């Protein structure tokens, strides 16, 4: 039961993304990295399409996907949902043109399980202080809605149903319709906004901001991981809409709807956490923390950090050259990799 939280509340970071991937621990997954010279993302190796749930490119294309909660018989579909963000990241089409084309060529996504996708092209607005609007599409809603608008960028012909959401400074997506957010989304949005506001007020550096965002992603209800391990399927499933973080659960196959063919005894829960910062000069910091890549609950978290400059970003001073260098490995690697907490501490909530 994944979650996506993103905000524009920090003046130095016009876009902050925090995401949890909840999945079977034994599902084959390639850690985040540049899969080509432009595209940074993890790769789901559990389906032949080798898709992804989150990614960003040097050209500023960004995509994050969350699944819908659906009956078990509808989970395994002809086409993997992970192929959709991957197709967008690799496309050269403008965001809305791409969505219209993809919807047409994929038959309205009828052969794909339910999903919501945040996607778009990161471009500076107002001298880099804000970004141009992004978009949310879903095969459970007809309309594609733009988000992170200002009164100036908002299309007045847009559906009034979405008007408030289009102007939100902070948005959240999980496994419910995005106009009907689960409690975890409501709480997550509040916590992320508080982090951004505290970061500005207390002048946190980037490392502390990232660390605090990971703390938000690790808030669990209940916080004791032993309770989760002792839940039966129904009890654990009932808690997921309330808990940003999902500690390990056993025998959760079916309702989790992960498109996985994992064995029924597999462990399931939050296995990957991602924080993406885009600063006002177009510099991207991508931090991935992999909590589980197997059923060994004592394994240490794996941390990957990459930084690069979005090509063509205009921040009010100059347009950034397309000839930029990426940095695989940030200062946070050494600091955060020291977090070798045992399971009980790793899953504690604040």
> What does pTM read for this prediction?
0.89
- Burial (CB < 10 A; 0-12, 13-18, 19+), residue 23, is buried
pLDDT of residue 307: 98
pLDDT of residue 70: 64
pLDDT of residue 110: 76
pLDDT of residue 209: 98
pLDDT of residue 72: 54
Report the 10 Å Cβ neighbour count for 100: 14
Q: Which of 20, 68, 67 is nearest to 244 (CA)?
A: 20
d(CA 215, CA 200): 17
Model confidence over 113-141: pLDDT tens digits? 889 999 999 999 877 788 999 999 998 88
Q: Is the dihedral of CA 314, 320, 324, 329 positive or negative?
A: negative
pLDDT of residue 263: 55
pLDDT of residue 71: 60
Ordered mean pLDDT values, 10 residues apiece, the chain (350 residues): 94 98 93 97 91 98 90 63 95 94 78 91 85 92 87 63 82 91 97 98 98 98 92 85 94 53 72 98 98 92 96 72 61 46 33
Domain parsing of the chain, residue ranges: 3-346
């Amino acid at each position: 039961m994944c979650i996506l939280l993103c905000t524009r509340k920090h003046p130095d970071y016009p876009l902050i993304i925090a995401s949890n991937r909840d999945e079977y621990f034994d599902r084959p997954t390639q850690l985040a990295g540049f899969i080509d010279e432009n595209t940074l993302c993890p790769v789901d190796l559990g389906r032949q399409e080798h898709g992804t749930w989150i990614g960003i490119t040097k050209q500023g294309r960004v995509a994050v996907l969350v699944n819908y909660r659906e009956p078990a018989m509808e989970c395994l579909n002809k086409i993997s949902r992970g192929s959709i963000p991957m197709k967008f990241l690799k496309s050269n089409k403008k965001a809305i043109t791409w969505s219209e084309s993809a919807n047409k060529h994929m038959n309205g996504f009828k052969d794909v399980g339910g999903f919501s996708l945040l996607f778009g092209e990161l471009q500076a607005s107002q001298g880099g202080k804000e970004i141009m609007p992004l978009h949310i599409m879903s095969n459970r809603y007809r309309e594609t809605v733009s988000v992170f608008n200002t009164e100036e960028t908002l299309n007045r012909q847009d559906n009034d149903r979405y008007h408030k959401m289009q102007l939100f400074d902070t948005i959240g997506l999980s496994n419910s319709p995005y106009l009907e957010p689960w409690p975890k989304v409501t709480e997550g949005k509040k916590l992320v906004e508080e982090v951004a506001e505290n970061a500005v007020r207390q002048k946190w550096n980037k490392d502390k901001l990232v660390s605090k965002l990971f703390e938000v992603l690790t808030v669990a209800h209940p916080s004791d991981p032993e309770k989760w391990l002792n839940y039966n399927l129904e009890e654990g499933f009932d808690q997921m809409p309330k808990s940003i973080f999902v500690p390990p659960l056993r025998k959760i196959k079916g309702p989790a709807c992960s498109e996985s063919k994992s064995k029924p005894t597999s462990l399931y829960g939050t296995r990957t956490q991602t924080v993406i910062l885009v600063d006002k000069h177009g510099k991207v910091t991508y931090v991935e923390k992999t909590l589980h890549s197997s059923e060994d609950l004592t394994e240490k978290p794996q941390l990957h950090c990459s930084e690069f400059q979005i090509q063509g970003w205009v921040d009010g001073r100059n347009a950034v050259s397309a000839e930029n260098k990426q940095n695989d490995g940030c200062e946070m690697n050494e600091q955060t990799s020291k977090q070798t907490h045992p399971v009980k501490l790793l899953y504690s909530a604040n």
